[in-house]
Amino acid sequence: MAPRVLVSDALSPTAVEIFRKNGIEVDYEPNLGKDKEKLLSVIDKYDGLAIRSATKATEKLIEAATNLKVIGRAGIGVDNVDIPAASRRGIIVMNTPFGNSITTAEHAIAMLFAVARQIPEANASTHAGKWEKNRFMGVEITGKTLGIIGCGNIGSVVAMRAVGLKMHVVAFDPFLSADRAEELGVEKVELDDLFARADFITLHTPLNDKTRGIINAASIAKMKDGVRIINCARGELVVEADLVEGLKSGKVAGAGIDVFAEEPATNSALFNLPNVVCTPHLGASTTEAQENVALQVAEQMSDYLTKGAVTNAINMPSITAEEAPRLKPFVKLAEVLGSFVGQMTDEPIDEIEILFDGSTATMNTRALISAALAGLIRPQVSDVNMVSAPIMVKERGIIVSEIKRDKSGVFDGYIKLTVKSKTRTRSIAGTCFSDGKPRFIQIKGINLDAEVGEHMLYTTNPDTPGIIGLLGTICAKHNINIANFQLGRDHPGGDAIALLYLDEAVPQAFIDEVLATGKINAARPLRFNIGA
């Protein structure tokens, strides 16, 4: 059945065309995002949800989205999506991090001019036939200092434009390197320094716990008298009541506000103050940007739903459409290795070490680790996948480490998982042969070559004669066919293991019978998901 996508915000029709071209059924309901109850009632029908900022993908919506696999944000900010809730449910959240950066930077620059020259008010006055030439005295921006808070994709474009406008640009961004600052022609400063020196301040950070309310009464007090503030990032970066106070007192000479703490903002204390220019979250609203983000999000979501490729995901490592087919068998391998140890371990796991040897070390190991972790914890948590596994493992306080090394043995490459719990350490290694099927090649240091089947039986025993016959006889007695039988031992007469690939699951009576022989130390039925 074709995957089904709901577009619940006003995306360009290009998105719909691209979904259809990629064989995806699509419902285009540009106003549904604003109707929470209706959205809630239909969301379970969809594999994908394409949104802008109006749709709020809350925990409640995500819980109701029982078939959802991907949320695609045609734009940048994903603060309208409950990412932890999506991750826990195994839903990928992706955005389009560059599609509207230039457009939004241009909006910030437009705000800069609009506020410096009071253009909206002068426009309204002129349209009203007032000709108030003396009322609207502006300020030049040439030679003035622009303070940029957050110098990422959008902040950088703003910086380059402002440098071109002959402004002196200072930037505060903990992740801005000295080289990048030099390349942009900006001076990297501390936040208080920026507050003290800037004539104009423009915000371009994401909204998070560190940036929420970054413009407040205390920070405004540190600013120059007559500072002008532009916010085209997120409303909650500014404590709006404090900005209103600053504007009323004259400390802040003007503000350009595109985003509000509550949207849609139909009633704000910022409205109708002199020299406050407001726009209704228009930063990304140009034809060009909307085409870009619609096209990108639809391609990304289609690639994921039809090919398993992951691009620009917030909660999952990227997998390109090119690498997805090559990676797929190794994702399955990592998952069955994790699953083997997960099924063998009855006590809490403390540490997991994942070794990538040879060719596997050159692959997308983040994706392989996610797959191994999903396999590992699936016996405890059924509803887990590559998206939710890392978060669940972290929540359980399990330490995950990764080792990559050059080819060290006969195999082109293999993956080895070592899992430590309080009382023991287990390890298993595997590889994929040219048929794309996973093979177990080593269990607790003992070499073997075992094809992986849906139903398997793992036994440990002292290396004595008669084990094959013993297990074969009990299988025959229970009318269970053996597809493959692999043995291994550390040394003659030492510890031995057997791995049987069976055509069906063994019942508990089978295990009891095996153990009752006194010749087998442990017997564990295993089940693997070997489907696509």
Ligand X SMILES: O=C(O)[C@H](O)COP(=O)(O)O
Ligand Y SMILES: NC(=O)c1ccc[n+]([C@@H]2O[C@H](COP(=O)([O-])OP(=O)(O)OC[C@H]3O[C@@H](n4cnc5c(N)ncnc54)[C@H](O)[C@@H]3O)[C@@H](O)[C@H]2O)c1
| Residues marked as catalytic | 234, 263, 281
Task: Provide long-range contacts, Cβ within 8 A and 24+ apart, for 259-268.
Answer: 259/231, 259/232, 259/233, 259/234, 259/235, 259/283, 260/235, 261/235, 261/236, 262/235, 263/53, 263/235, 265/235, 268/240
Q: Does 318 bind ligand Y (CB under 6 A)?
A: no
235 lines the binding site for ligand X (CB under 6 A):
no
Of 88, 281, 332, 439, which one interacts with ligand X (CB under 6 A)? Answer: 281
Q: Are 92 and 113 in contact (CB under 8 A)?
A: no
Counting residues that bind ligand X (by CB under 6 A) gives 10
| Tokens standing for residue 202 | 């423009």
- Nearest Cα residue to 296 out of 3, 25, 33, 50: 50
CA distance to 262, 339, 350, 438, 462, per residue, from 427 (Å): 52, 12, 14, 16, 19
Number of residues that bind ligand Y (CB under 6 A): 32
Residues 83-142, interacting with ligand X (CB under 6 A): 100
Nearest Cα neighbor of 215 from 110, 207, 282 is: 207
Among residues 33 and 342, whose Cβ is nearest to ligand Y? Answer: 33
326 neighbors 371 (Cβ within 8 angstroms): no
Site for ligand Y contains 207 (CB under 6 A):
yes
What tokens appear for 109 in the block?
A: 């620059």
The stretch among 27-35, 146-154, 215-223, 302-310 that binds ligand Y (CB under 6 A) is 146-154
Q: Which range, of 72-80, 81-89, 184-192, 361-369, touches ligand X by CB under 6 A?
A: 72-80
- Residue 232 interaction partner, one of ligand Y, ligand X, none, beta carbon < 5-8 Å per kind: ligand Y
Q: Could you say which of ligand X, ligand Y, none residue 138 binds, taking C-beta under 5 to 8 angstroms by partner kind?
A: none
The first and second tokens of residue 51, run together, are: 């949104």
Shortest Cβ contact with ligand Y: which residue? 152
Query: Which of the listed partners (ligand X, ligand Y, none) does 72 bind, with a CB threshold of 5 to 8 Å by partner kind?
Result: none
Judged by CB under 6 A, does residue 154 bind ligand Y?
yes
52 makes contact, choosing from ligand X, ligand Y, none, with CB < 5 to 8 Å by partner type, with ligand X
Q: Which stretch binds ligand Y (CB under 6 A): 26-34, 111-119, 276-284, 361-369?
A: 276-284
Least distance from ligand Y to the Cβ atom of residue 421, Å: 38
Show Cβ contacts of residue 489 under 8 Å, excluding neighbours closer than 6 positions. 446, 463, 495, 496, 497
Please name every residue paired with 94 in a beta bridge, in sequence order, or none if there are none: 72, 313
Find the binding residues for ligand X in span 40-69 (CB under 6 A). Answer: 52-53
Q: Applying CB under 6 A, does 206 fall inside the site for ligand Y?
A: yes
Specify the 3-state DSSP secondary structure of 383. Answer: coil
Tell me the residue ranges of DSSP E strands in 385-531.
Answer: 399-405, 413-421, 425-432, 438-443, 446-451, 455-462, 482-489, 495-502, 522-527
At residue 447, what is the residue type?
N
DSSP label at 215? B
153 contributes a contact to ligand Y by CB under 6 A:
yes
Q: Which stretch binds ligand X (CB under 6 A): 162-170, 281-289, 378-386, 444-452?
A: 281-289
Q: Which stretch binds ligand Y (CB under 6 A): 21-29, 226-234, 309-317, 401-409?
A: 226-234
Site for ligand X contains 202 (CB under 6 A): no
- Measured CA to CA, the distance from residue 262 to residue 266 in angstroms comes to 9
Burial of 286 (0-12, 13-18, 19+ CB in 10 A): middle
The burial of 517, by beta-carbon neighbours within 10 Å (0-12 exposed, 13-18 middle, 19 or more buried), is given as middle
Q: Which of residues 52-81 bind ligand Y (CB under 6 A)?
A: 75-77
Candidate list 51, 149, 230, 475; residue touching ligand Y; CB under 6 A: 149
CA–CA separation, 40 and 446 (whole Å): 53
Q: How far is the CB of 369 from ligand Y (least distance, A)?
A: 24
Q: Which of 16, 76, 377, 497 binds ligand X (CB under 6 A)?
A: 76
Of 97 and 120, which CB lies nearer to ligand Y in the complex structure?
Answer: 97
Residue 233 near which of ligand X, ligand Y, none (CB within 5-8 Å, type-dependent): ligand Y
Three-class SS of residue 476? helix
Residue 54, phi then psi, degrees to nearest 5: -75, -35
Report the residue closest to ligand X, judged by CB.
Answer: 75
- Residue 242's binding partner, choosing from ligand Y, ligand X, none, with beta-carbon cut-off 5 to 8 A by kind? none
**Is residue 294 a contact residue for ligand X (CB under 6 A)?**
no
Q: Cα torsion at 129, 133, 138, 141 (round to 10°)?
A: 90
Output 218 or 516, the one with its CB closest to ligand Y. Answer: 218
Where do contacts with ligand X occur on this chain (CB under 6 A)?
52-53, 75-77, 100, 281, 283-285
Where do contacts with ligand Y occur on this chain (CB under 6 A)?
75-77, 97, 100-101, 104, 149-155, 172-175, 204-207, 210-211, 232-234, 258-259, 281, 283-284
